[in-house]
């Protein structure tokens, strides 16, 4: 059942009273002065079999809580699919209540895409509670969408180990910048990490471990969200290539260099790797070499695409070696983030 460009009124119950068997409900451009909780209870009572909810809104207002209120009014562990297209600046209020927990055993797909604004949300309830989840897409497109924080992402252990597709944007992942201290990868060996770096890498490693447990993943898109001094997303910083610290390289205990690529060894079904996984950042140019590419060849055997490069002249020999090896082995072609890689670079 789809309803678009409609205004709630005291007669809204007339629409739903004759649809007791509706299982899929899609609503967009909903306006009006009605109380969302009252309307949600009315819909939930009239249509108790709803298992799929889709809601679209251009601007955030009081009625944007409607799909979550409907979930509250439906029988527990029934909703399997939730799609929201819009900007929920108060989304945290709803992920922390019982809406998602009420359907955590039945929820298979959560898709949240944004319009017009960027908003920070809490994803901890989704990651912790929705243990049947197979698709989680919380989109972020630089100037629109939603993101969570590193602290929120690692607050609880993730139970959503059935995920096959994950899209998530996370802020606060950059290593701390300390006056007079060079980046760890530019220091002479043996490398000694500062206390601030060690503490931050411990938190990042917790995130990497959680991702590594999602052994059914075929699609992974993780984006590092960079904030400016006022705590707002800095679009200029977002335009620069980015990679999660120490995630794409192996540990080198001999020189004291941290590396957490080994935590992703369980992602053997991974086909697409998108987002902040650039191999042409200052860090990854210094830390990624043949050992990392040999590891990827062995542990990601079906990888078809990785967001490693944007420019042809940045592609380095180890990556060309991996691409060519896949072809020689008779496996699917591996795209490295750009098309028509030439051998003369």
At 9 the pLDDT is 55
At 324 the pLDDT is 95
At 27 the pLDDT is 84
pLDDT in tens, 209-256: 999 999 999 999 999 998 887 777 777 777 788 999 999 999 999 999
pLDDT in tens, 322-334: 999 999 999 989 9
What average pLDDT does this structure show over 51-75? 82
Q: How far is CA 320 from the centre of its chain?
A: 28
| Alpha helices for the chain (secondary structure H) | 13-16, 36-46, 66-73, 91-95, 98-101, 124-129, 150-153, 195-212, 235-238, 282-287, 290-299, 317-328
At 276 the pLDDT is 95
On average, the pLDDT of the chain sits at: 87
pLDDT in tens, 117-174: 788 888 888 999 999 999 999 998 877 788 999 999 999 999 999 999 999 999 999 9
Length, in residues, of the chain: 345
Q: Binning pLDDT at 50, 70 and 90, where does residue 296 land?
A: very high
Task: List Cα–Cα distances, 287 to 133, 151, 249, in angstroms.
Answer: 34, 26, 6
Choose the weakest-confidence range: 91-100, 207-216, 281-290.
91-100
Q: Binning pLDDT at 50, 70 and 90, where does residue 293 land?
A: very high
Q: Residue 343 above 50 pLDDT?
A: no
Q: Are 286 and 316 in contact (CB under 8 A)?
A: no
At 166 the pLDDT is 98
pTM score: 0.91
Choose the weakest-confidence range: 77-91, 205-219, 286-300.
77-91
Q: Binning pLDDT at 50, 70 and 90, where does residue 272 land?
A: very high
Residue 85: CB partners within 8 Å, gap ≥ 6?
A: 28, 54, 55, 56, 57, 112, 113, 114, 115
Choose the weakest-confidence range: 54-58, 102-106, 115-119.
115-119
Choose the weakest-confidence range: 7-21, 158-172, 185-199.
7-21
Longest dimension (CA), the chain: 74
Task: List Cα–Cα distances, 196 to 151, 203, 257, 281, in angstroms.
Answer: 15, 11, 15, 22
Q: Binning pLDDT at 50, 70 and 90, where does residue 6 land?
A: low
Q: Binning pLDDT at 50, 70 and 90, where does residue 287 land?
A: very high
Q: Binning pLDDT at 50, 70 and 90, where does residue 342 land?
A: very low
Q: Are 337 and 308 in contact (CB under 8 A)?
A: yes
Choose the weakest-confidence range: 73-82, 196-205, 233-242, 250-259.
233-242
Q: Residue 5 above 80 pLDDT?
A: no
Question: Looking at per-residue confidence, does 148 or 66 come out higher?
Answer: 148
Rounded to whole angstroms, the Cα distance separating 67 from 256 reads 50
Choose the weakest-confidence range: 185-189, 271-275, 309-313.
309-313
What average pLDDT does this structure show over 291-318? 94
Q: Residue 31 above 70 pLDDT?
A: no
Task: List Cα–Cα distances, 220 to 139, 166, 262, 310, in angstroms.
Answer: 12, 5, 16, 18
At 145 the pLDDT is 82
At 19 the pLDDT is 83
Cα distance between the two ends of the chain = 55
Q: Residue 29 above 70 pLDDT?
A: no
At 99 the pLDDT is 87
């Amino acid at each position: 059942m789809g309803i678009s460009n409609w205004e709630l009124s005291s007669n809204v119950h007339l629409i739903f009273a004759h649809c007791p068997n509706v299982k899929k409900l899609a609503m967009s451009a909903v306006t009006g002065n009605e109380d969302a909780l009252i309307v949600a209870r009315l819909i939930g009572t009239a249509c108790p079999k709803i298992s799929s909810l889709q809601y679209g809104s251009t601007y955030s207002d009081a009625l944007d809580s409607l799909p979550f209120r409907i979930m509250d009014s439906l029988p527990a562990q029934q909703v399997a699919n939730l799609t929201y297209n819009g900007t929920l600046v108060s989304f945290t209020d709803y992920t922390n209540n019982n809406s998602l927990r009420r359907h955590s055993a039945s929820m298979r797909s959560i898709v949240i895409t944004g319009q017009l604004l960027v908003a920070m949300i809490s994803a901890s309830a989704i990651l912790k509670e929705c243990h049947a989840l197979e698709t989680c897409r919380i989109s972020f497109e630089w100037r629109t969408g939603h993101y969570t924080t590193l602290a929120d992402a690692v607050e609880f252990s993730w139970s959503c180990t059935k995920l096959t597709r994950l899209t998530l944007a996370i802020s606060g992942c950059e290593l701390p910048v300390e006056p007079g201290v060079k980046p760890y990868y530019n220091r002479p060996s043996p490398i000694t990490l500062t206390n601030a770096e060690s503490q931050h890498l411990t938190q990042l490693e917790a995130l990497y471990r959680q991702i590594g447990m999602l052994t059914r993943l075929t699609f992974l898109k993780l984006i590092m969200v960079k904030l400016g001094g006022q705590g707002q997303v800095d679009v200029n910083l977002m335009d620069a290539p980015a990679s999660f610290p120490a995630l794409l390289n192996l540990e080198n205990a001999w020189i004291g260099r941290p590396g957490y690529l080994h935590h992703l060894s369980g992602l053997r079904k991974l086909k697409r790797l998108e987002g902040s996984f650039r191999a042409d950042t200052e860090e990854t140019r210094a830390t990624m070499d043949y050992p990392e590419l040999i590891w990827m060849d062995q542990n990601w055997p079906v990888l078809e695409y990785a967001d490693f490069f944007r420019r042809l002249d940045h592609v380095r020999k180890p990556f060309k070696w991996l691409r060519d090896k896949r072809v020689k082995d008779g496996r699917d072609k591996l795209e490295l983030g750009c098309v028509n890689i030439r051998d003369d670079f």
